[in-house]
Amino acid sequence: MSDADGAAPEDGAAEVEADEEARELLETLVSIPSPTPEERECAEALVAFFEERGREAHLDDVGNVRAPADDSVLYTSHVDTVPGDIPVRVEEGEDGPELWGRGSVDAKGPLAALAVAAVRTGVSFVGVVGEEVDSRGARHLIEDRAEPDAVVNGEPSGWDGITLGYRGILQGTYVATSESGHTSRPENNAIQDAISWWSAVETKFDTDDYEPVFERVTPKPVKIEGGVSDDGLAVESTLDVQLRVPPEFSTDEVRERADAELGAGTVNWKDSVEPTMQSPRTDVARAFRVAIRQAGGDPRLLRKTGTADMNIFAGAWDCPMATYGPGDSDLDHAPDEHLPLRELDRAVAVLEAVAEDLQ
């Protein structure tokens, strides 16, 4: 099983006709900007796509696109993107036409593929909001509907890739205050306390370079502020941090180890999502392997070093699941984000076969 994720090789892939319906939907969705939390217009376009094809669809209380149907499998992906203006256009690439635009890979390519396959096979579909920030759509979904028999979550894996594992995430803010004083004094101030704590945390989770990234705890500072307070009487510091958590650990275990390194200051832990590692032997994984082979591909089983909505679903629902979708995840959030349209065509064919298998 690989930690890598990216565009699938085309050698040996069966020829697939251009899927004009999927291509048109993708271009429509990419042409409507939907950075978190501005998803509504794009979500309404997705509702219209389902209604025009005779499927009931609506927006729920948080803005998710809900198209309930056969719950033998739930197809779901996210509507929101990160910010970024990439002119929407189709250009000729090495493997044919490519659609350029923000979200073409993450994750409107998977979103369009899943939506088209859901319409054609009659399975349930949800387009969730907020995945790029706080997963508010996925969190609402697990509280608001019954557990399906299986889940396919949409994120780029390449048309012949199946993502079974994601690391979790722990986020917090370190806060410290010290008395102000002359910089010649040897005692630590609050800024030094923050630096000392974080250095200790990084040392705590240091590993050998040969250990796969997926299996490591990765500590990362994301924002630091500090200095003399407005009244001049104290030195203050805040440090926002993230720690990626492999399946070997729970977020509680990582938090306890980080807290044990505290000398001064406190940490306000504000969000945690548990890691997940799905078995390659579930009905969902088997259905993907069969469908990819039938399409002329060699299935790749992937583990991702980030975190996705599948972590949220796996923490609440005891059903088999996997993440799948067209696109090279190296282009996630990138200024050159683009999707080869033949990859979209192949992904839709695979998703149709998977839904029919699971039904």
Give the per-residue pLDDT at 179. Answer: 85
Domain identity same for 212 and 350 = no
Phi (first) and psi of residue 273, to 5 degrees: -130, 130
Q: Is 297 helix (H, G, I), strand (E, B) or coil?
A: coil
User: Is 281 found in the same domain as 195?
Assistant: no
pLDDT at residue 7 in the model: 40
Residue pair 303/1 in contact (Cβ under 8 Å)? The answer is yes
CATH number of domain containing 215:
3.30.70.360
Shared domain for 75 and 191, answered yes or no, is no
Query: Residue 3: pLDDT band by 50, 70, 90 thresholds?
Result: low
Task: Give the helix/strand (H/E) hosting 67.
Answer: strand 65-67
Please name the residue that has the structure tokens 């509702």. 47
Residues 140 and 232 in one domain: no
CA angle 167, 172, 178 (to 5 degrees): 150
Whether residue 189 has pLDDT greater than 70: yes
Last residue of a domain, one of 273, 297, 325: 273
- Give me the domain span that covers residue 58: 20-167+276-358
Report the CATH number at residue 309: 3.40.630.10
- pLDDT beyond 60 at 4: no
Q: What is the pLDDT of residues 282-321, one digit of tens each?
A: 999 999 999 999 999 999 999 999 999 999 999 999 999 9
Is residue 323 in some structural domain? yes
pLDDT tens digit sequence for 319-357: 999 999 999 999 999 999 999 999 999 999 999 999 999
Final residue of a structural domain among 243, 273, 303: 273
Number of domains the chain is built from: 2
Domain co-membership, 281 together with 143: yes
Asked whether residue 214 is assigned to any structural domain, the reply reads yes
CB 128 within 8 A of CB 337: no
The sign one gets for the Cα dihedral 213, 217, 218, 222 is positive
Write out the two tokens for 341: 């349209």
Amino acid at 100: W
List the one residue out of 209, 208, 267 whose CA is nearest residue 243. Answer: 267
14 domain residue, yes or no: no
Torsion of CA 142, 145, 151, 157, to 10 degrees: -50
Within a domain: 4: no
pLDDT digits (tens, 9 = 90+) for 68-94: 999 999 999 999 999 999 999 999 998
* pLDDT per position as a tens digit, 41-64: 999 999 999 999 999 999 999 999
State the pLDDT at residue 184.
63
User: Which residues are designated catalytic?
Assistant: 80, 131
226 & 320 share domain: no
Report the pLDDT value the prediction gives residue 5, as an integer from 0 to 100.
45
Question: What does pLDDT average to over the chain?
Answer: 94
- Residue 187 has a pLDDT of 80
Q: For residue 128, tell me if it sits in a domain.
A: yes
pTM of structure? 0.90
Residues 255 and 284 both lie in one domain? no
Asked if residue 197 belongs to a domain, the reply is yes
Determine the average pLDDT of the residues in 245-263.
Answer: 97
Question: Based on C-alpha coordinates, what's the Rg of the chain?
Answer: 22
For a pLDDT cut of 90, what percent of the chain falls above it?
89
Q: What is the pLDDT of residue 258?
A: 98
The answer on 285 and 142 residing in a single domain is yes
Q: 156 and 54: one domain?
A: yes
Confidence (pLDDT) at 332: 94
| Listed residues 273, 303, 329: the one ending a domain | 273
Asked if 336 and 196 sit in the same domain, the reply is: no
pLDDT at 183 over 70: no
What confidence score (pLDDT) does residue 9 get? 43
Q: Are residues 45 and 163 in the same domain?
A: yes
Say yes or no: 98 and 185 in one domain.
no
**Residue 7: inside a domain, yes or no?**
no
pLDDT at 11: 53
The full length of the chain comes to 359
Q: Is the pLDDT of residue 100 over 90?
A: yes
Q: Considering the domain boundaries, does residue 2 fall inside one?
A: no
Q: What is the model's pLDDT at position 6?
A: 40
Summarize the confidence of residues 129-151 as an average pLDDT: 97
